[in-house]
Every structure is written in C-alpha cells, then in structure tokens.
Amino acid sequence: MSEYIADRNDDDSSEDSGSYEEWIPSFCARFGHEYYCQIPSEFLEDDFNMTALALEVPLYRQALDLILDLEAVSDDEAEHGENGQPEVSRSLVEHAAEQLYGLAHARYVLTRPGLQALAEKFDRRAFGTCPRYHCGGMQLLPCGLSDTLGRQPVRLYCACCGDLYVPAQARHAQLDGCFWGTSLPGVFLQHFPELGEYVGKRPVQSYSLRVFGFGVNERAVSGARMAWLRQRPSTEEEWEEYAKCEYEMPTEVS
C-alpha cells in the first residue's frame, strides 16, 4: 500500500512543477484511473452527499479542499516549507483526498447523473469487454465486493453471462473496489432496464469439450460439470421449474 502512495506522489510532483491543474480532472486523467468518473464539484460541496465520510477519511476538511482546489498552497510553500514538514503533510492530505474522492465516487455513481456518466463510459468500453468468448465483446461494469476501504479490489461485471472478472490490465486490478461499490451493477441494471432486455434476447451459447468431434463421457473426470453455470431455462418444463425457484430452492431435487 505504501508503494502505491509513493507512486502516486511521484506523479504529482511532476504535475505540480507545471502550471496549475484542477485536481479532479487531473486525478481522473492519470494512467490507471480510467474507471473513475469526474464528480461535479456541486455534488462534493453538498454536505448531505458527504454524510459520515468525515468519519472514514482522516484530514477530511483539507482533503476536500484539495479536491475542490480551494487549498491555496503554492509550489514554493509545498517544496520549501520549514523542515520539509508541509511536504509530508501534503502527501498525507493527497492520500486522504484520493480516499475521499473514491468514497464519494461510490455514492455519486448511484445518482442519476452518475449513472449517466457511467453509461457513457460503458458505451465507450472504458471498463473493457467480457473476456468470455460467447459473450461476444459485451461491455463490462465495475463492481466492488466490499463497501469498506482496503478490503477488495475492483472487479468487473458482465450483464450477459452475469459473471465477475478480474480486469485485464494490471493497473486496474488493484483499484479499491469500494470506490465503485457493491450496488453498482444492480443499480445500473435497474436504472437501464433496456440492458437486461438486450442480454435476455441474446442466444444462449455454451461450449463443451470435444475430442475428434466426440463429446467427453459424462462419467470421465473431465466430463462436463459446469453446464449449469451458463444455462438458462429453455423448455417448458425448465420454465416451470424456474417459476418454483422464485422465492427459494425447491426442496425436492428430482
């Protein structure tokens, strides 16, 4: 984790030496930050949206000021402060700002404008496409497996196969999943029902092992055991069985 912070600060110092840059656009434009949306400052300025985040992030006020470019620290001060003190605290504030931005981001992406911003990124394949062959390049959505800082890296959800994947690029695979949150795919699917309709209409395709054109015997160790994972009800009988699964697992397994 400390390497991670040091890395980010390196990036900063090069940026700081140049002309003044707004924090949010430059944070989102950083290499590896392609999954982040830009949060409008009005959202961050509204105390209601930021409720309880002060409890989760240290140096909350300074961090927020940094994000909103309200902090009037000149390059001079930052670099030549007494005993190097301001520089240390600046890197702490910077780290806190990144955490705060991430936690606010998880909230923002569940709002109407946030979902819209996410949908535009989704359309541009900003989160990549499903690596599963039969999903035919379906766009992915980021998904957290925990809503607590530092627990689980971000994963990607495919609405077509309904499965979760590790980001293809190593630079994305370690982003904190709580910055997108556990509710994101669910809220996205509810907000854009046309996505569910679209994937519902796609033909269900699957693969099974073949040797010289023949299937593998079901009793063999390598016999098919996972067809259920990609299966959808298709026959009348299966749809009846599916109806029985509405609230619980049917007790009798025939």
Partner 1 sequence: MEDNMDGMTDSSDYVEMWIDLFLGRKGSEYFCDIDPDYITDRFNLINLQKTVPKFTQVIQYIVDELDETVLESMSHSRLEQLENDARKLYGLIHARYIITIKGLQKMLQKYRDADFGRCPRVFCNSQPLLPVGLHDVPGIDSVRLYCPACEDLYNPKSSRHSTIDGAYFGTSFPGMFLQAFPEIVPRHPTKTYVPKIFGFELHKQAQLARWQELQRLKLQKSLEAKNVDFSKNGGYK
Residues that bind partner 1 (CB under 8 A): 131-134, 143, 155, 157, 162-166, 168, 182-183, 185-187, 189-190, 196, 206-213, 216, 218-233, 238, 241-242, 245-246, 248-250, 253-254
Nearer to partner 1, 97 or 140 (CB): 140
CA angle 188, 97, 1 (to 5 degrees): 90
Element at 90 (helix H, strand E): helix 85-108
Nearer to partner 1, 65 or 147 (CB): 147
Q: Which of 110, 105, 185 is nearest to 142 (CA)?
A: 185
DSSP 8-state secondary structure symbol assigned to residue 156:
E
Query: Which among Zn ion, partner 1, none contacts residue 88 (Cβ within 5 to 8 A by kind)?
Result: none
- Please, what is the minimum distance in Å from the beta carbon of residue 244 to partner 1? 8
- Please, what is the minimum distance in Å from the beta carbon of residue 132 to Zn ion? 4
- Please, what is the minimum distance in Å from the beta carbon of residue 156 to partner 1? 9
Nearer to partner 1, 3 or 246 (CB): 246
Distance CA 93, CA 141 (A): 30
Residue type at position 35: Y
Q: Which of 140, 62, 137 is nearest to 99 (CA)?
A: 62
Q: How many CA atoms lie within 13 A of 143 on its CB side?
A: 20
Query: Which among partner 1, Zn ion, none contacts residue 166 (Cβ within 5 to 8 A by kind)?
Result: partner 1
Q: Which of 71, 70, 91 is nearest to 79 (CA)?
A: 91
Query: Which among Zn ion, partner 1, none contacts residue 1 (Cβ within 5 to 8 A by kind)?
Result: none
Nearer to partner 1, 25 or 203 (CB): 203
* 204 in Cβ contact with 231 (< 8 Å): yes
- Please, what is the minimum distance in Å from the beta carbon of residue 73 to partner 1? 38
Nearer to partner 1, 42 or 237 (CB): 237
* 216 in Cβ contact with 223 (< 8 Å): yes
What size, in residues, is the chain? 254
- Please, what is the minimum distance in Å from the beta carbon of residue 201 to Zn ion? 15
- Contacts with Zn ion, residue ranges (CB under 5 A): 130, 132, 135, 158, 160-161
- Please, what is the minimum distance in Å from the beta carbon of residue 26 to Zn ion? 33
Nearer to Zn ion, 21 or 163 (CB): 163
Query: Which among partner 1, Zn ion, none contacts residue 160 (Cβ within 5 to 8 A by kind)?
Result: Zn ion
Residue 187: both structure tokens together: 């809220």
Distance CA 88, CA 95 (A): 11
Residue 254: both structure tokens together: 């025939």
